[in-house]
């Protein structure tokens, strides 16, 4: 063994909590969940480390645990106070509704199961700094947490992020602990240190999708139209807060899913339990909120005797006026939900298949089939407004090759490929001219997490801005080179395309891009540019519960047919039809894969 790290070895803050400082890197006085780390053993081999860890003795005094949402409610154990969103007079609308019911709905968590477990590597530098390679979705947050743990300024910590083997939200905040451990070990030993969690350890230590408990009162009419909904959500945050507040908020934002609810009173609160700290997971609370309203819609259908697709259609946002405004006051804008709904029904042959499914179920008492059509509306942006920004750094070299740096992280979702397409279109160059660099905090600082379904929007716009600046600098050089070829033109008329430059409307001659870069260098024109983007026209005041938290909404409709064996519980998906509005796709192949993966 080379060293054993305990809480007293932390020179700075013994904390890895991203929002609230309630998450010690190494437990000191109290262990809050089974598996919490109290010591780290550093050695030459994994076998030596395991042997050393087996020698560590910890004396525990058992304390009464709080496990599960109902236990937390009974014990009054919470991380947060209730946060509420209201519109209309919910109490009066409930009282006036022809039909009312109350109920509750509970849903469990989910493991990310990224193929690459949490991993990090650190190497001490000669000036007291440290360089880290981390499997993280949020390099700047890892940089900040490590700096706080070591008690140094952030400029002493450089974080590199190679391609990750999956994230799904599980590496947005919880990669920081592994990075902090290896950084602390590197500082202690003066040597490079790496850590990759075994799968069973990763499963024990890391957070999951938040379990939720919803209790609701709903008013509706005999036609299935919802008049009012009062919903109280409680999420299981686990032992520390992590990102649970924002996750619960997004669940509240998406409690409407795709439906206009005239009067609502929604509240959300994070419970504190003695389990691993739950964290970001694809959708970030949105899926949990959507599941609650879909359960409510289904209960309305059962109570009225109407088909679920009829109830859903009657409650969809209508696309104009108040019926196109969410419960948090934001106009949806270009609402295509109704159009997609009708198109999905027609394209899937829904009516004919409904009749076929009904006939099958009458003839088969034990194996049943189900057919459903469900919409989705999801807000795109970080609800913490200042996260909606991104930077980029693009280098040109004299041979015409390009390095592209941006603040987003690649975890298999295809972000680098989308950014490559942006740069290719902006500079008019083929793919082989570019190298997408690993994300690094010394190239692009102060980055936001690659999360909130905004990685392509933010980083793509930042890269485009950097490329536009380079075109602006190169255009006068290119104009002079074209003039030397006998084509008088202005910088404004220069086009970057086909691996070179030409005058607008005159595709020949084409001056090769490397020649333009070489000439710009000779003329002492910078071939390196930064780009920056901030999402405009968004704001959210949480204290007032008012604002415009999302830049836009993505919408889709899925028609799903399944079969279930009543004896064994075995089930299979027989057919799926998905229609999704992606706007102007940056890469249709990747978007199709993301839609299919998201459905699965």
In a domain? residue 212: yes
558: containing domain: 334-384+541-600
pLDDT at 158: 98
Residues 448 and 494 in one domain: yes
The reply to whether 428 and 356 lie within a common domain is no
Q: For residue range 214-226, list pLDDT tens digits in order.
A: 999 999 999 999 9
Phi, psi of 550 (to 5 degrees): -120, 140
In a domain, 321, yes or no: no
Query: In this predicted model, which residue has the larger pLDDT, 598 or 277?
Result: 277
Residue 166 lies in a domain: yes
**Predicted pLDDT of residue 217:** 98
Burial class (CB in 10 A: 0-12, 13-18, 19+), 504: exposed
**Average pLDDT of 568-592?**
96
pLDDT of residue 546: 86
Average pLDDT over residues 26-43: 96
pLDDT band with cut points at 50, 70 and 90 for residue 189: very high
pLDDT at 418 over 80: yes
Residue 324 lies in a domain: no
Residues 395 and 473 in one domain: yes
The sign of the CA dihedral 473, 476, 480, 482 is: positive
State the average pLDDT over residues 391-395.
98
Mean pLDDT, range 287-294, rounded to an integer: 98
Q: Before 483, cis peptide (omega within 30)?
A: no
- Picking from 297, 213, 302, the residue whose alpha carbon sits closest to that of residue 251 is 213
Longest dimension (CA), the chain: 87
What's the confidence (pLDDT) of residue 545?
Answer: 87
Count: domains in the chain: 4
Q: What's the pLDDT tens digit per position in 522-549?
A: 999 999 999 999 999 999 999 888 899 9
What is the DSSP secondary-structure string of 137-179? S-HHHHHHHHHHHHT--GGGEEEEE---S--TTTTSSTTHHHH
**Average pLDDT over every residue of 555-563:** 97
Look at residue 320 and tell me if it is in a domain.
Answer: no
Tens of pLDDT along 190-248?
A: 999 999 999 999 999 999 999 999 999 999 999 999 999 999 999 999 999 999 999 99
Domain closes at, from 161, 182, 205:
205
* Residues 246 and 297 reside in one and the same domain: yes
Are 99 and 125 found together in one domain? no
Give yes or no: residues 155 and 283 share one domain.
no
Domain boundary among 176, 205, 234: 205
Do 73 and 184 belong together in one domain? no
pLDDT tens, residue by residue, 70-97 = 999 999 999 999 999 999 999 999 999 9
Are 193 and 97 within one domain? no
Cα 79 versus chain centre, distance = 22
CA angle (439, 392, 178) in 5-degree steps:
25
The H helix count followed by the E strand count for the chain is 15, 24
Q: In which band, very low, low, confident or very high, does the pLDDT at 600 lie, cut at 50, 70 and 90?
A: confident
* pLDDT for 2 beyond 90: no
**Which residues pair with residue 233 across a beta bridge?**
214, 268
pLDDT level of residue 579 (50, 70, 90 thresholds)? very high
The torsion angles phi and psi of 285, rounded to 5 degrees, stand at: 95, -25
Alpha-carbon span 386 to 151, nearest angstrom: 26
Distance (Å, whole) CA 88 – CA 92: 9
Question: Domain ends where: 482, 516, 534?
Answer: 534
436 and 515 share one domain: yes
8: CATH:
3.30.365.10
pLDDT tens digits, residue range 338-382?
999 999 999 999 999 999 999 999 999 999 999 999 999 999 999
Give the list of residues 6+ apart from residue 360 with CB closer than 8 angstroms, or none.
368, 369
Q: How confident is the model at residue 320 (pLDDT cuts 50, 70, 90)?
A: confident
- Alpha carbon distance 413, 164 (integer Å): 10
pLDDT at 559: 98
Domain for residue 564, yes or no?
yes
578 confidence band (pLDDT: 50, 70, 90):
very high
Residue 1 has pLDDT above 80, yes or no: no
**pLDDT for the residue 370:** 97
145 and 26 in a common domain? yes
Extract the runs of DSSP E, i.e. beta strands, from 45-98.
83-87
Q: What percent of the chain has pLDDT over 90?
A: 97
Could you write out the DSSP letters of every residue in 359-408?
HHHHH-SSEEEEEEEEEEEEEES-SSGGG-EEEEEEEE-TTS-EEEEES-
Question: Is the residue at 594 inside a domain?
Answer: yes
- Tell whether 343 and 201 lie within a shared domain: no
Same structural domain, 119 and 98: no
Tell me the pLDDT of the chain averaged across its residues. 97
Asked if residue 549 is part of any domain, the answer here is yes
Distance in angstroms (rounded) separating the CA atoms of residues 32 and 79: 14
């Amino acid at each position: 063994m080379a060293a054993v790290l305990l809480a007293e070895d932390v020179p700075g803050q013994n904390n890895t909590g991203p929002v609230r400082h309630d998450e010690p890197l190494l437990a000191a006085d109290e262990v809050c969940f089974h598996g919490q780390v109290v010591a780290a053993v550093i050695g030459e081999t994994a076998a030596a480390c395991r042997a050393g860890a087996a020698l560590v003795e910890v004396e525990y005094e058992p304390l009464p645990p709080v496990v599960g949402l109902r236990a937390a409610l009974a014990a009054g154990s919470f991380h947060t106070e209730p946060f509420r969103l209201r519109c209309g007079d919910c109490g009066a609308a409930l009282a006036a509704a022809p039909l009312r019911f109350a109920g509750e709905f509970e849903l469990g968590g989910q493991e990310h199961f990224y193929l690459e477990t949490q991993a990090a590597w650190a190497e001490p530098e000669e000036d007291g700094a440290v360089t880290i390679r981390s499997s993280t979705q949020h390099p700047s947050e890892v940089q900040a947490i490590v700096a706080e743990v070591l008690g140094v300024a952030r400029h002493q910590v450089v974080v590199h992020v190679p391609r990750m083997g999956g994230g799904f939200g599980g590496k947005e905040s919880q990669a920081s602990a592994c990075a902090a451990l290896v950084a602390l070990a590197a500082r202690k030993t003066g040597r490079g240190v790496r850590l990759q969690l075994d799968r069973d350890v990763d499963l024990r230590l890391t957070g999951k999708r938040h379990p939720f408990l919803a209790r609701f009162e709903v008013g509706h009419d005999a036609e299935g139209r919802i008049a009012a909904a009062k919903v109280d959500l409680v999420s299981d945050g686990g032992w520390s807060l992590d990102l649970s507040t924002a996750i619960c908020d997004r669940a509240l934002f998406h409690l409407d899913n795709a439906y206009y609810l005239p009067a609502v009173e929604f509240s959300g609160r994070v419970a504190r339990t003695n389990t691993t700290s739950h964290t970001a997971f694809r959708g970030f609370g949105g899926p949990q909120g959507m599941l609650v309203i879909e359960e409510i819609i289904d209960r309305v259908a059962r109570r009225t005797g109407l088909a679920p697709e009829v109830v859903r259609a009657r409650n969809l946002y209508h696309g104009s006026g108040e019926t196109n405004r969410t419960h948090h006051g934001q106009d949806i804008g270009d609402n295509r939900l109704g159009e997609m709904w009708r198109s999905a029904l027609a394209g899937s042959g829904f009516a004919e298949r409904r009749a076929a499914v009904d006939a099958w179920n009458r003839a088969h008492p034990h194996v049943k089939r189900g057919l459903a059509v469900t919409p989705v509306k999801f807000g795109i942006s970080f609800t913490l407004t200042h996260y909606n920004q991104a930077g980029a750094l693009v280098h040109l070299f004299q041979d015409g090759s390009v390095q592209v740096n941006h603040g987003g992280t690649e975890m298999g979702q295809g972000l680098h490929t989308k950014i490559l397409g942006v740069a290719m279109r902006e500079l008019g160059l083929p793919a082989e001219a570019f190298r997408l660099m690993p994300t690094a905090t010394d190239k692009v600082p102060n980055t936001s997490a690659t999360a909130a379904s905004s990685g392509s929007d933010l980083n793509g716009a930042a890269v485009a801005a950097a490329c536009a600046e380079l075109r602006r600098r190169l255009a006068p050089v290119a104009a002079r080179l074209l003039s030397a070829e006998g084509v008088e033109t202005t910088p404004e008329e220069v086009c970057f395309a086909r691996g070179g430059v030409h005058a607008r409307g005159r595709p020949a001659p084409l001056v090769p891009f490397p020649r333009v870069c070489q000439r710009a260098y000779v003329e002492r024109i910078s071939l390196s540019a930064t780009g920056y983007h901030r999402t405009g026209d968004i704001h959210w005041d949480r204290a007032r519960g008012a604002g415009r938290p999302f830049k836009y909404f993505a919408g889709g409709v899925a028609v799903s047919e399944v079969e279930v064996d009543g004896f064994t519980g075995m089930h299979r998906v027989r057919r799926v039809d998905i229609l999704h509005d992606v706007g102007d796709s940056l890469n249709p192949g990747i978007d199709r894969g993301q839609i299919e993966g998201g459905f699965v």
